[in-house]
Copies of this chain bind each other. A is one copy, B any other.
Amino acid sequence: MSKIITIIGSGMMGSALAFPARENGNEVRLVGTPLDKDIIDECRRSGKHPKFDYAFPEGVKYYQFEEWKEAVAGCDFVIGGVSSFGVDWFLEEVLTYLDPAIPVLSVTKGLVNLEDGTLISYPDYWQRGLAKKGIKREVCAIGGPCTSYELVYHDQTEVAFCGKDSAVLKMMKAAMQTSYYHVSLTNDVIGLESAVALKNGYALAIAMTIGLVNRHNGPEAGLHFNSQAGAFYQAVKEMRLLLEMQGASRDCENIGIGDLYVTVYGGRTRKIGILLGEGKTYQEALDILAGVTLESLVVARRVHKAMVRKAELGQADLSRFPMLCHAADVLDNGKDAELPWEAFTFDQTK
């Protein structure tokens, strides 16, 4: 039975979800944020998102932000497609005014660090913000390795939806799953959201090894993989420790490892990691990537800051996270990108 799905945020990820949503026969209403005015104009004109290679499926409806209340009227659920820089905006301008009876599925990946080093998910962050206003609602979320660009290509994609209300999750899955968009379900919100956010500092560090190989061997040596794989191993080790602290389920751990894999290859985090590995300073790397927003580094810094705080409180041992600390030191303390390889070894002999 087809649904009415309203996507708020017409960036690449929100917009890409219009493909499986609409191809399933649902009514799909794509709403731009105030920053997306030109995108919505272009979609109305051409039926194509300016950053995608393919046009939207026939029948997607486009709305400017001023029309958002019209766009959510009668809808079965809202997909929140804002970037992590838009979470407060989404709280204040959308969630505060949205009927709590309409379920929300968010694609925004990230974590927020509280003063005591606790890392909370965006669904939790929003729920706390709404509770202060006397509004009670749950927010569901999407995690897993999925780049928007490839979803538009109908590439086979595995994600998970998390939330506390299983019936709502099943309704969302039935509406969204296609022959190429495969959806697992879990009630483990903090586990899934942690798994797909914690990867950022690690993907950065792994990408550094690509730049380091260029630096040591010259670009003509081509791609080498030993050091990437050694770094991947350590990243998995540290992520599993962090996810254990977050109480994540094993399935969420595995999804986080898949998400780490795709992030090593996908776009911005990779680019800045390679530049740092080649020996650029953080500022030089930023200048080279002028105009690129680096959501991933915000999260990487928050995770590091949270662990530093937990260590101060005697609740974490930073020596177990040499790669996370290294990534933070390269970003913010001018440390050379060469990884502390010996710190990654262990001696488990008796």
Contacts and interface: CB of A to CB of B under 8 A. Distances in A.
A158 B209 CA distance: 13
B240 A258 contact: no
A52 to B, nearest CB: 13
A330 interface: no
Interface stretch (A124-132, A217-225, A312-320): A217-225
A182 B342 contact: yes
How many copies of this protein are present in the complex?
2
Question: For the side of the interface on A, what is the size category?
Answer: 35 or more
Contact of A185 (B151, B155, B170, B349): B349
Given A230-B145, A236-B257, A187 B349 contact: yes
Contact of A261 (B180, B217, B261, B345): B261
Interface in A156-186: 156-158, 160, 166, 169-170, 180, 182-186
Contacts of A254: 233, 236-237, 240
Interface in A224-273: 224-230, 232-234, 236-237, 240, 249-251, 254-255, 257-259, 261-262, 265-266
Nearest to A145: B229
Interface string A182-195: 11111110000000
Ranked 10 nearest A-B pairs via Cβ: A233-B258, A145-B229, A158-B230, A229-B262, A166-B349, A156-B227, A150-B226, A186-B348, A184-B345, A157-B226
